[in-house]
Structure 1
Amino acid sequence: MPIPPYVAHLRTMVGRELLWMPGVTAVVLRPAVDGSGEEVLLIRRTDNGEWTPITGIIDPGEDPHVTAEREALEEASVVIAVDRLVWVSAEPPVTHANGDLAQYLNHTFRCRWVSGDAAPGDDEATAAAWFRLDELPPMRGHFLDRIACAVENPRDVRLGP
C-alpha cells in the first residue's frame, strides 16, 4: 500500500518505531440487486490479496468521515455518503510487510452507496465488488465484526473491542 507523504516524512525521523495512526473503515451498503436484503462493498487488497471493506489513514486536518468518502472513491471508484459513526476502537499494534510498526485508532462508519460502478480505482486494490451479506468471502474477523456492527446500526456508538 502506498505510504501517505506525511507518514513517509515521519518515518524519516522515527524509523520503524511504533506510530499511532488515525484510520477509518467505511462499510458501504446498498440494497441487493435482486431486492433481497443488502450488499456490502469490498475490495481485494493488492498487498495481501485479502478482501476487506474500504479502509484508510486520515490525512492531517481531514475529518474522518471525509476520509471514508475519499477512500471509497480512490479504492473502489464509487461515491458514497456517510450515514453515521458506529464504532471506535484502538487496534492492536501491527508490523507491516516493510517492518514498520503502527497502531490504529479505527473509526468505523456505516455508509451508503450513491453512484459509480465498483472497480479498482488505484493501486491499493486488484478488485472491487458487491457481496450479499450472507455470501461474504473469507476475511479477517475484525473486518467481519465491523461489517456486522454497521449492519446492526446500533443506537449508540460501540466503544472499544
Structure 2
Amino acid sequence: MGTPDFILALRRKVGNDPLWLSSVTAVVVRDEQVLLAKRADNGEWTPVTGIIDPGEEPADTAAREILEETGILAVPQRLVMVHVTDLVTYDNGDQTQYLDLVFRCGWQSGVPHPADGENTAVDWFPLNALPPMSDDIRKRIAAALSSEQAAQYVFSPPSPGGT
C-alpha cells in the first residue's frame, strides 16, 4: 500500500511542511522469535509499522498493517510504548513526525511474505540473532519483549520558568 489518500490530500495543502501523524509499530512475537520486514524504501529491517487512518482504532491499525504487509494474522496483546519519532524527511522532501504507539502482537496463523510491495522480505528472527537495526527500533522491540505490563513512555519534564 502506498501513501494513504488523506495524507496526499493534506500534502496538496501543506506541501513538504512537517506533518504530525499517528502511527503504530506492531512487534509480532511467536515463541522465541520476532517478525521483521525489510523495508523497500531504505532496506532496513523493522517490525511492521503503519499510519493510523482517521477514526481507526490503533490496535485495529496494528492488525490491519500486519495482514497487509506480511499476509499473516496477528492479534494485538498490549500497548507497550508511547513515543515521538525524530522528524523524518523523505526523498521527495516531505517531512513528517509521528506519535508512535508500539503494540506487542501474538501470531495467530499464516506464513509471512512481502504482501503489498512495502517490503522486499519478511521473516522470523530468533530473539538472540536479530539483524542490524537502529537503536530506536531495538528499543521498540525491547519494550514489546519486556514483562512490564504498563506501557513505557518518554517524558521530558519542562524546565522551570521556560517553555
Letter in 1 for 2:142: A
TM-score between the two structures when normalised by the length of structure 2: 0.92
Q: Following TM superposition, where does structure 1 have runs of at least 4 consecutive aligned residues deviating by more than 2 angstroms? A: none
Distance 1:153 1:129 in 2: 24
The 3-state SS of whatever aligns with 1:103 is: strand
- Give 1:142's match in structure 2, choosing from 124, 129, 136: 136
Kindly state the Cα deviation for residue 27 of structure 1 after the two structures are TM-superposed.
0.4
Kindly state the Cα deviation for residue 2 of structure 1 after the two structures are TM-superposed.
1.8
Q: Which has the higher Rg, Structure 1 or Structure 2?
A: 2
Distance 2:135 2:40 in 1: 19
The 3-state SS of whatever aligns with 2:102 is: strand
Unmatched runs of 5 consecutive residues or more in structure 1: 32-37
Kindly state the Cα deviation for residue 140 of structure 1 after the two structures are TM-superposed.
1.1
Distance 1:156 1:97 in 2: 36
**Equivalent position of 2:16 in the other structure:** 16
**Equivalent position of 1:67 in the other structure:** 61
Distance 1:119 1:65 in 2: 21
RMSD (CA atoms):
1.1
Distance 1:119 1:74 in 2: 10
The alignment-based identity, stated in percent, is 49
- Give 2:43's match in structure 1, choosing from 49, 64, 69: 49
Cα 1:12–1:110 change in 2 (3 A) is: same
Unmatched runs of 5 consecutive residues or more in structure 2: 156-163
Cα 1:46–1:139 change in 2 (3 A) is: same
Letter in 1 for 2:6: Y
Count of paired positions: 155
Kindly state the Cα deviation for residue 131 of structure 1 after the two structures are TM-superposed.
0.1
1:63-105 CA distance string (max 9 Å, x none): 0000000000011111000000010011121111211000000
1:4 to 2:4 alignment: yes
Once the two structures are superposed, the pairs formed by residues 115-130 of structure 1 within 5 Å of their partners are 115-130=109-124
Distance 2:94 2:25 in 1: 21
TM-score between the two structures when normalised by the length of structure 1: 0.94
